[in-house]
Amino acid sequence: MNESFLYYLWENRLLKGNLQTHTGCPVEIVNPGFRNTDSGPDYLEAKIKIGNQLWAGQVEIHVKTSDWNRHGHQHDKAYNNVILHVVLENDAPVNNIPVLELKGHFDTSLLDRYERIMASQQWIACERQLGQVPPFTTITWLERLAVERLEQKAQTVSKALILNKFDWENTFYQLLLRYFGMKVNNEAFETLASLLPLKILLKHADNLTQVEAMLLGCAGFLEMESQEEYPQLLQREFAVMRAKFNLLTMPVERWKLLRMRPVNFPTIRLAQLAQMIHRNGCLFSKIKASQTMAEAKTLFDVEASEYWDTHFRFSMEAPKRPKHLGDGAADVLMINAVIPLLFCYGQFHKDLSYCEKAVRFLEEINVEDNSIIRHFAAIGITASNAMQSQALLHLYNFYCRRKRCLECSIGNALLRST
């Protein structure tokens, strides 16, 4: 038994019988209050009728009454306004606060089902019972999780925005670079973004060669000898830009190429990014103005410069093939950079139209393909678009893996099934 199960009983009003305090006064739960996830009592703004008196205040929940002292609440003034101490077992007198013992006042079959789920060793705890959940429950829960995930991502964006002194364009640039790394090189791209601010690139955005030289130079890829004309041109341009802006360079060893498709090599991605900045300048302003997801994605419809048609790395020729940023890579950027920033922008400016646009864009993107999404499909939950696949990723990482079944609509449905 843990407190999470007691929270579940309390929040969902699953107590039965004549409730009484330890002194025999009748208890009526008018309003259980709302869960406090910060320090202090577990539930705030509760309304409890004890005897003939209606009380408003805080509720604390423990497995045993003695946990009050064990947790040190007797010395914490934050607990001075607790109106009811709810416990599974009243094992010891603690203070003058009324105690409500829950033992014998709930359906023990709920606890049995909960303990079986918690003991599961499957990929997710309810894997074998998913077929019992009504489809409507699953769909509505995924919709809620998709928004919860967007809100969580928006919080991360907000922190970056504060560090950038509310420069939306530079914040978008940093987000964009992070997800250009395709996981393997995320950290290296983030480092590059800190070394080479967007405002410097924008000063020379009309010159593709100079933009590409700064990106590849600061990334450390121009610290080599080459007999080819184009790398030599980039080196000369970078030498000028480095002196002009006092630019720093990264150790080229920071970049990873092993077990990576050549089209995803950082050299190719940086050349594509240079083209994107050259073509669009301030990207986020154009993202905001986009009315459709297709219009927004055109900003990522770029090819690396001509040299890269026959190269993946400097001085190593390959069969000729234009290096176009693929639709899958564009979707990754839309899901992880564009949509969270749009959602955050709408929240920041209290303009729901941007939040709604972010959700609409997410619904229009194809479902993601990864091991988690495939596993959910194998056990009966198939996503039909990126909004649902994002919801499933959130469900797995923040609920299933942590066995937060009591906070999950699917887990709730299974617990209450007979």
The answer to whether 177 touches 160, Cβ cutoff 8 Å, is no
User: Which tens digits make up the pLDDT trace of 206-252?
Assistant: 999 999 999 999 999 999 888 899 999 999 999 999 999 999 999 99
pLDDT of amino acid 259: 79
Distance CA 264, CA 337 (A): 18
pLDDT of amino acid 95: 80
The answer to whether 389 touches 395, Cβ cutoff 8 Å, is no
pLDDT of amino acid 6: 96
pLDDT averaged per 10 residues in sequence order, the chain, 418 residues = 91 94 95 94 97 96 95 93 96 89 94 89 92 93 97 96 96 94 90 96 97 98 92 97 97 90 94 96 93 92 96 92 94 96 96 96 95 95 96 97 93 83
Pairing mode, strands 43-50 and 34-35: antiparallel
The dihedral sign for the CA sequence 153, 154, 159, 163: positive
pLDDT of amino acid 416: 81
The answer to whether 346 touches 352, Cβ cutoff 8 Å, is yes
pLDDT of amino acid 375: 96
Q: In whole angstroms, how far apart are CA 370 and each of 100, 364, 376, 383?
A: 48, 18, 10, 12
pLDDT of amino acid 418: 56
Distance CA 20, CA 28 (A): 9
pLDDT of amino acid 315: 85
pLDDT of amino acid 331: 95
Ramachandran sector of residue 105 (left: φ over 0; alpha: ψ -120 to 50; beta: rest):
alpha
pLDDT of amino acid 72: 94
User: Which tens digits make up the pLDDT trace of 8-37?
Assistant: 999 999 999 999 999 999 999 999 999 998
Distance CA 224, CA 257 (A): 17
pLDDT of amino acid 183: 83
What's the distance, Cα to Cα, between the start and end of the chain in Å?
21
pLDDT of amino acid 63: 96
Tell me the β-bridge partners of 61.
86
